[in-house]
Amino acid sequence: MLLGVGMTQAQAQINVTLIEAQHRIDVTADGKPFTSYIWPESLDKPVLYPLMAPDGTTVTRGFPLEPRPGERVDHPHHAGLWFNYGNVNGFDFWNNSSAIPAAQKPKMGSVHQGPVLSTKSGPHEGEITVETTWSANSSDASAPDSKRTDLLKERTTYIFRADRNTRTIDRISTLTALKPVTFHDDKEGLLGIRVAHFLESPTEKGGTFNDAQGRPTKVDTADTTGATGVYRTSAGITGDKVWSTRGAWCELTGTTPDGKTETIAILDNPGNPGFPTYWHARGYGLFAANPLGDHIFDGKAPEHNFTIPEGGTATFRYRILLTSSAPTPAQLNTAEADFANVK
C-alpha cells in the first residue's frame, strides 16, 4: 500500500505516452487516466492537469483550461498542479496569466518548456524528466526573445505510482541559477494545486486577496453547497486555521456529491530548503506549500530571501498522494517517514 500502512497491494502498470505535437504527456494507471503533463500556449508554465483519484474522481478545478458549471473562476493562474514563485529577482512568476494587463507584463516571468529528456513506463512506476527555463519579461509580447532574461534552468523528474487505493506523484526539481537569484520572502509559492469545488471549505466567505505587488483579486462569495473540504496538518491544525502554519505534511479531505471520500495530501521532504514548509492553503481551493515566505506568514520571523549563487543549485522534493479514502494521521506520518528517505 503506497500510504505505507497495511498489507502490500499489487501496484498498477503505469504507462507514460508523449504526444509532443499536442504539448502533452499522458499518464495512465492500469489503463485509467491518472494525469497529464501539459504545456499549452495559454499558460505561462507547464502543469500537471487534471489529477485523478484512484476511483476516477477529478480532484482539480477545471478553470481556466476546461471550465465547469458552478466552479469559481478567480485566479486564472491557478491551473492543475504547478511549481513557481511570486518574487524571483523582483519578477512575478506565480501570478502571470492572460489576465495580467499588458503594462504589467514586463514585471512578470514565465516558465518555458524545454526538452522532454526522458519518459518511462513500467509495471510499478512511470517517469517523466523535463527541462524548463524560468525567464523574466518572458511574457512581454512587445519584447523580442533576445530581451528575455533567463534566470534559472529547472530539471524535474516526476515519478508516478499507483495501487488500488492510492496514487502518488514525486516531483523532484533541481534549479540551477544562470545568474545570482533571490527568491524574496513572498506568500505566492511554491508548489500549488487548485482543487475541485467539493474540496473547497464550506466556511469560505470569499473576499479580496492581494498579491505581493498589491494587485487585488476578488473571490466572490460563492454557493458553498457541496463544498466539504477540510485541511489537516502534521501539527494537528485543522480547517481554515491551517493557512500560514508549518507542518511536514498537509491533507485536504472532502466528499463528492455522490458520497465518495477523496483526499489530496502534500508531503514535504526534510532535505528541502525551509523544512517544514508553511501552508498557503485557502478555503476557496488553493492548496500550496511555500517554504520561502517566513516573514510574510509570521511577522515575528526574519525574512527568508533564499539565494542561489550563479551556477549554484537548489533541489525541492515533494510527494503528492491522491487517495479515495480519509487516511489517518498515523498513516500520513508513516508515509512522511518513507518520503524522508528520498534524497
pTM for the predicted model, two decimal places: 0.93
| Structural domain contains residue 1 | no
Average pLDDT over residues 294-317: 97
- Indicate the DSSP class of residue 92: B
Percentage above 70 pLDDT, the chain:
90
Question: The C-alpha cell of 151 is what?
Answer: 534566470
Question: The C-alpha cell of 236 is what?
Answer: 494537528
Give the confidence band of 205 by pLDDT, cuts at 50, 70, 90. confident
**Position 35, amino acid:** T
| Structural domain contains residue 202 | yes
Q: How many distinct structural domains can be found in the chain?
A: 1
| 78 vs 60: CA distance, rounded Å | 10
Give the confidence band of 145 by pLDDT, cuts at 50, 70, 90. low
Percentage above 90 pLDDT, the chain:
85
Give the confidence band of 221 by pLDDT, cuts at 50, 70, 90. low
The per-residue pLDDT of the chain, averaged, comes to: 93
Average pLDDT over residues 311-338: 98
**Position 38, amino acid:** I
| 314 vs 149: CA distance, rounded Å | 20
| Structural domain contains residue 8 | no
What's the angle, vertex CA 45, arms to CA 43 and CA 50, rounded to 5? 75
| Structural domain contains residue 3 | no
| Structural domain contains residue 184 | yes
pLDDT digits (tens, 9 = 90+) for 16-62: 999 999 999 999 999 999 999 999 999 999 999 999 999 999 999 99
Cβ neighbours of residue 133 closer than 8 Å, sequence gap 6 or more: 111, 112, 114, 150, 152, 153, 154
Q: How many CB atoms lie within 10 A of CB 57?
A: 17
- Indicate the DSSP class of residue 12: P
pLDDT digits (tens, 9 = 90+) for 50-100: 999 999 999 999 999 999 998 999 999 999 999 999 999 999 999 999 999
Answer whether 305's CB lies under 8 Å from 203's CB: no
| Structural domain contains residue 5 | no
Instruction: Provide the pLDDT for residue 144.
Output: 54
Cβ neighbours of residue 121 closer than 8 Å, sequence gap 6 or more: 13, 14, 15, 16, 17
| Structural domain contains residue 2 | no
- Containing structural domain, residue 224: 14-339
